[in-house]
Structure 1
Amino acid sequence: MDNKEKLEMKDGKHLISNIQAQYARLSKGQKIIAQYILKNYDKVAFMTACKLGEAVGVSESTVVRFANALGYSGYPKLQEALQELIKNKLTTVQRVEMAHDQYSDDSTILNKVLKSDIDNIRDTLDAIDENAFKGAADKILKARKIYILGMRSSFTIAQYLGFYLDIILDNVHIIRMDMGDAFEQVVRVNEDDVLITISFPRYSRKSYQVAKYAKSKGAHIISITDSMFAPVASISDNTLLVKSNMASFVDSLVPALSVANALVISVGMKEKEDIKEYFDDLETIWKEYSVYE
């Protein structure tokens, strides 16, 4: 991520105050856009430049110049900043309402959701920090114990990642809410351990609290999340950024699953001789007890 992209992300966190500060020097048409965004930023986050222009009665080029006037390289970057602003503030009801106009029938839903997942994976591949990924895989391999944490829908990724890492390694613990309080499960964490936290909007407060506790005990924190503004990213040693643009009330976890796959394979390739021996034993058990047809 270059300096301009970092600046655009930072601006996204203070977008409303930035619009207010720049308002006096905007053109008449740009002021109309600014007023509309200040009142309807949750809707504008998912409107194209053309749609926004139609909504306020200005040209698409005026919308693009408005984005430039705020310091963005183009309208898509302004739109990303708006999405960054709202993603943790929208209620589930608001998400459903926003999606009503986007998904008109089953064919449209199938097409848009799958294309969105493809775009999310492509954007993740383009933006992910390869050094952070390599560092995460190395730390997992060397850890005394690996804790994996994901709350609510993120637990699906945590469970998947934990299942396959447990095949490779024998020191994996998935933090489960049905196995007692999360803090009780990490109370013995220390500087030789790794905590992998999966966190997506709406960010779980408890995920951050558990990660912060583990950090205070010296554990290495790896986060799989969608933004450097995610609470857990601020305390992570390795942050693996995953695009997770919203599809109605459902977050796209497909790229997170792909990154989890990549982590498993990266660790596995470093332990392939042990894995082969382990699978030889499993094949014997599966055959003896007729596990598979």
Structure 2
Amino acid sequence: MSGRAPVVELLRQQQGTATAGERKVCRLLLADYPLAGLEPVARLAARAGVSAPTVLRLVGKLGFVGYPEFQQALKDELGERLSSPLDMYARTAGRGGDHALDRSVETFTQGIRSSLEAVPAAEVDAAVALLADARRPVTTIGGRFSGILAQYLAGHLRELRPRTAHVPDGGGDRAAALLDMGRRDVVVAFDYRRYEKGTIRFGDLAKKQGAALILFTDPWLSPLASSADIVLPASVQAPSPFDSLVPALALVEAVVAALVDELGDEPRKRLARYDDLADDVAE
């Protein structure tokens, strides 16, 4: 891929300054990303209820010379989105020159910085507002590897607020978690490329039952993004063939820090109580 930001990020940035017609196109592209953008320009315009020139003006504002270049960028992203460790192996394994430690410093530093700088503060603030409301139960969920992040966030939330649960990767546990879920619930889902059907299905069902949905994902966006209220993407670039969750972990830490700022002194008694109980259990 080129040095240009992912198209989905460009679309999100453009929404604030786009005309009413262009915003319709943005919303359609984001709701059915990236497939909607692979349609002929006339069909995309008809689906959005705008003219073809409106679509082309938006494409130009995104930085593309024309619609074919825009579609090629989407195709390139689609290839990246479907990349597996085997696909990535030839690109990363056995590199000559730099030591893996040097590559790691460069890759992780760049990934963390670019991810945190790209996420709109308003999205983080909206996520924090949901997580800070102690009246709303919070459920975290993830996949084979991203479940580690879901557990990590849940661990912090349990110390800061009541009614927090992590749902492990199992059909029975997930079904039970959905039984009583409703409009007051908040689901925090983690889903990265090679997206996991179980996580996507859980998020979609939770949303249909009225829950608010916060999604942590990669720059190419999990299919769950079309259902999510808040989307927090992070780089997955790594010095190895395996996607890295280091930038995503940094984003989780940033959200926790923002939540602590929002809660102020409220969690002090809860943290003290937690420490006392932890000591009692340890004995």
TM beyond 0.5 = yes
Overall identity of the aligned pairs, in %: 19
Q: Which residue of 1 aligns with 2:137?
A: 145
Give the match's secondary structure for 1:251.
coil
Instruction: Please show how residues 75-114 of structure 1 align to structure 2 within 5 Å.
Output: 84-100=77-93, 103-104=95-96, 108-114=99-105
What's the offset of the Cα at 1:201? 1.0
Paired residue secondary structure (2:113): helix
**Residues 145-184 of structure 1: CA distance to partner in whole angstroms, max 9, x if unpaired?**
1010111110111111010011001111101125834232
- Is the alpha carbon distance of 1:268 and 1:99 closer, same or farther for their aligned partners in structure 2, counting shifts above 3 Å? same
Find 2:127's aligned residue among 114, 133, 136: 136
Map of 2:185 onto structure 1:
193
Higher RCO (CA-CA < 8 Å; seq separation 6+): 2
Secondary structure of the 2:145 match is: helix
Which deviates more from structure 2 when the two are superposed, residues 228-237 or residues 244-253?
244-253
Query: Does the 8 Å contact 1:88/1:203 carry over to 2?
Result: no
Is 1:228–1:234's contact at 8 Å kept on the other side of the alignment?
A: no
Answer yes or no: is the 8 Å Cα contact 1:227–1:233 preserved in 2. Answer: no
* Equivalent position amino acid for 1:134 in 2: D
Letter of the structure 1 residue corresponding to residue 82 of structure 2: K
Q: 2: CA distance between counterparts of 1:221 and 1:190? A: 12
Q: Tell me the TM-score normalised to structure 2 length.
A: 0.70
| Cα distance in 1, alignment partners of residues 280 and 221 from structure 2 | 51
SS state at 1:195 partner: strand
Counterpart of 1:98 in 2: which secondary structure? helix
Q: Give the structure 1 partner of residue 61 of structure 2.
A: none
- What is the aligned-residue RMSD (CA, Å)? 3.4
**Aligned partner letter, 1:98:** R
The structure having more radius of gyration, on CA atoms, is 1
The answer to whether the 8 A contact 2:203-2:224 is kept is yes
**Counterpart for residue 115 of structure 2:** 124
Corresponding residue for 2:268?
Answer: 276
Query: Residue in 1 aligned with 2:256?
Result: 264
For residues 241 and 266 of structure 1, the distance between their equivalents in structure 2, rounded to whole angstroms, comes to 17
- What are the ranges of 5 or more consecutive residues in structure 2 without an aligned counterpart? 1-8, 15-21, 40-63
- Number of matched pairs: 235
Distance 2:38 2:259 in 1: 44
